[in-house]
Structure 1
Amino acid sequence: MKLTPVKPFEPIMTDHLPAGDKWIAQIKWDGVRMLVYNDGSDTELINRKGNNRTRQYPELWDTSAYCKADSVILDGEIIALVNGVPSFHQVMRRDSLRQEQQIRARVQQVPIVYMIFDILYCNGEWVTGRTLNERQALLKEVLIPNPHVQLVPSYTDIPLLYEVSQQHQLEGIVLKDLGSVYAIGGKDKRWQKRKNIQDVNAVVAGVTYRDGIVNALLLGLYDEDGRLIYIGHAGTGKLGVADWRRITKEASGMVVKDRPFANQTERQKGAVWIRLEWVVKVNFLEWTPGGTLRQPSIQAFVEMDPRECRGDL
């Protein structure tokens, strides 16, 4: 029977760590969410967005090497480690490839590990209706860990695991109700995530538009030589529709001709440069190897001198 891809269960963000015996915590691995489908003959790897990534990860084609089940759907995260810490940048070097020759070469250059945390289907039977506790027990029975496949450990001391994730600069933790069934396509508080988020005050040096309304701010920090260095663009966060309309109106009177940044920007085309007057607080996950913010989220405008927005760039 050909297994039809499904949309995985998603956790919601939380600022508070739940307590009680029904909760466990797992490390939130910074990688690519991936479901492995094996119908008894063929294996497919499908990511969270429904895109096929089978070719990119030949280490996972032979499910019999890491799973005793005759047919199975597994849920987990594919990660690439750098100095023992997951690197999203590195795993994307594998995930973005399309040519066979490049894939074969990158298998050696960027080893991956599939961190499995759930099972949806086993030996011809859907197990999504079982509790997480029961599904974890089933995973332990059928999984055969190897260098490329590991079972994600679960912990009951939630505050301690969160502290460890911060100490090791990991993405965060996921909190799960042991009594929860697996809700295909669902997203609710039975699964929660607490991220380790950083923040920075950055200068707004440009904007981009969509349908006549500003939809993103181009951000920078001053380096030790006084140059404004581009660190990314942000169009999501806590600003509402009224805020973006206000920004659009005010930005129209702040336009300058020359690019304020000393370096090139990702959004050069369509960018409109503005006077260096605005400062915003931005939450972000981490710095990318290219010196930009990963997953920036605008929190608020900040009253401060833009020249005070400095970074060790």
Structure 2
Amino acid sequence: MLFTPIKPMLLHMGNNEEINDNPEWIYDIKWDGWRILLHKQGERIEAFTRHGNNVTAKFPELQEVGRSIQSHTAIIDCEGVVLRNGVSVFDDFAFRGRLSNTSKIQQATLTHPATFIAFDVLGTNKPHTNKPLVERKEILLSIIEPSNSLLITPSVTGNGNNIFQLTKDKGMEGIVGKRSNSTYKTNHRSHNWLKYKHFKVIDTVILGYKENPFTMLVGKQLSNGKCKPLANVEFGFKPEEKTAFREIAKQIVTKVERDMTWLEPRLCCKVQYLEKTNTGSLRIVSFKGFNFDKVPEAIN
């Protein structure tokens, strides 16, 4: 298992209205970056993504990470992030992940310093995956000396609603709830691990659409009258909404390019999204209904 790709345990999406304050649940802050598995033995340390890619060379910070892990041998599950005022910024860590030039990587350790936030341990000198989460958390605390490059995520037992509100107030992604007795099952998505995210809803104008799969391109109208695309929306449509939309769209088609049908920017809809990128695009977007009372000029 050591220094070989591991598919980590994954979460299901939880219902924000059903966050459990039961003391049998442990809640962590959900950080927005890349899922990373750290492998350490002696002075050797390597980092793998959830898809099995070895990204060690991209993060010189891992040398400090290795010194922060007090155990000779360890496999630690964490989130790789770039923190800005205590909040993880997905785009900044993704920027780090795209770099391959050595000098640019070294420069980015100053402008986009990576931090690895640990939340679980799969093993040290022996496997821990069959131990309950509460015990694995204790092991994690005992083997990590926090540093600028390696932290342990804050956890609370019960009180899920309190930490959910706290992360919302701070503009964070959300929280993760896990049963305190849950074991760690690699390559498995478990209902014992649930993620709760803070989504936002905004009005947008529909700029065009594609079929196969059905996708709407939504955006906003700028002050100069032009439209800026914000997101491709694939999810959240009811069959009857697609049918009604196609009938309306026939009347406002401007041109068809390959698989894209462009429309006059007259029809508005609401979309739900998790966050905006640095360029203003929307991440993790779903359709939340048409807004026939809205006019494009009123969207900002």
TM-score when normalising by structure 1: 0.86
| Alignment gaps of 5+ in structure 2 | none
Q: Counterparts of 1:255-274 in structure 2 under 5 Å? A: 255-257=253-255, 271-274=260-263
Q: Could you tell me which residue of structure 2 aligns to residue 230 of structure 1?
A: 229
Q: Which is richer in helix? A: 2
Give per-residue Cα distances to partners, 1:92-139, cap 9 Å, x unaligned: 11111112121111112111211100000111x211000001101111
Shift in Å, 1:197: 0.3
The whole-number CA distance in structure 2 between the counterparts of 1:43 and 1:64 is 6
* Equivalence for 2:90: 88
The answer for the alignment partner of 1:160 in structure 2 is 162
Q: What is the aligned residue count?
A: 297
Superposed counterparts of 1:127-146, under 5 Å: 127-146=128-147
Per-residue deviation at 1:277? Answer: 4.0
Q: Is the 8 A contact 2:133 2:179 kept in 1?
A: yes
Q: Residues 3, 202 of structure 1: CA spacing in aligned structure 2 closer, same or farther, 3 A cutoff?
A: same
Q: Structure 1 64/51 Cα, relative in aligned 2: closer, same or farther at 3 Å?
A: closer
Question: Percent identity, aligned pairs only?
Answer: 27
Are residues 310 and 9 of structure 1, via their aligned partners in 2, closer, same or farther at CA, if it must alter by over 3 Å? Answer: same
Matches within 5 A, 1:40-55: 40=42, 42-55=44-57
CA-based RMSD = 2.4
* Deviation >3 Å, runs of 4+: 39-42, 61-64, 223-227, 240-254, 268-271
For residue 196 of structure 1, report the CA deviation from its aligned partner: 0.6
Greater mean deviation of Cα atoms: 293-302 or 268-277 = 268-277
In 2, distance between residues paired with 1:109 and 1:19? 39
Counterparts of residues 194-209 of structure 1 (less than 5 Å): 194-209=196-211
| Distance in 2 of aligned mates of 1:276 and 1:62 | 52
Determine the structure 1 residue equivalent to 2:178: 176
Q: What TM-score do you get using the length of structure 2 for normalisation?
A: 0.89
Aligned AA (1:47): T
- Counterpart of 1:265? none
Per the alignment, residue 107 of structure 1 pairs with: 109
Matched position secondary structure for 2:254: coil
In 2: Cα distance, 1:45 partner to 1:223 partner: 43
Give the Cα–Cα distance (whole angstroms) in 2 for the partners of residues 241 and 49 of structure 1: 33
Give ranges in structure 1 of 5+ residues lacking alignment: 259-267
Specify the alignment match of 1:217 in structure 2: 216
Measured in 2, the distance between the counterparts of 1:225 and 1:63 equals 49
After superposition, the C-alpha distances for 1:245-293 in whole angstroms (9 at most, x for unaligned) are 77567645542049xxxxxxxxx98533113343222110112111111
